Homo-oligomer: A and B are copies of this chain.
Amino acid sequence: MKNDFNWEERFMQTGLKRTKQRIAILKILQESQQPVAAETIYLKLKGEGNPVNLSTVYRALDTMAEKKLILKLSIVGEGRKLFEINRKIHKHYLVCLRCKRIIPIEHCPLEEYEKKLEKETRYLIAGHKLDIYGYCPECQSHIDS
């Protein structure tokens, strides 16, 4: 997961105001290896001594997701929405049901299939969401707990 995401530039193109809150939030998303919840961002910022109001965090995340700067994810077994920088790579997630670790899968096994389905159902297919879940190597030894 390279840090090659230049949001400064993309941010400009959105027409959104460049506020310190939004910058701070983007920085956190950029540094995170995993998708993050709004509250986590809120707590991290508070911890750093740059508190940003929780509703501002929610609003910032939503507007930035609207502008496609970031992605808003619903993940299996996670009540809250998670957010991550939009690197514009179509991907899927493999989620560990025990430790909740998420690994991104960049190859999509469904491209072919969608075309077939379009013909069969006459739906115009706009997208799909695939999550795969299971147990990561470390967690396999204690699946009970």
Chain B nearest CB, measured from A86 CB (Å): 18
Contact between chains at A128 and B132 (CB < 8 Å): yes
Q: Enumerate chain B residues within 8 angstroms of A113, measured Cβ to Cβ.
A: 109
- Sorting the interface of chain A by its residue count into under 10, 10 to 19, 20 to 34 or 35 or more gives 20 to 34
Distance of A105 Cα from B120 Cα, bound (Å): 11
Copies in the complex: 2
Contact between chains at A128 and B125 (CB < 8 Å): no
- Is A66 on the interface with B (CB-CB < 8 A)? no
Contact between chains at A121 and B103 (CB < 8 Å): yes
Q: Enumerate chain B residues within 8 angstroms of A137, measured Cβ to Cβ.
A: 122-123
- Is A64 on the interface with B (CB-CB < 8 A)? no
Chain B residue nearest in CB terms to A97: B126
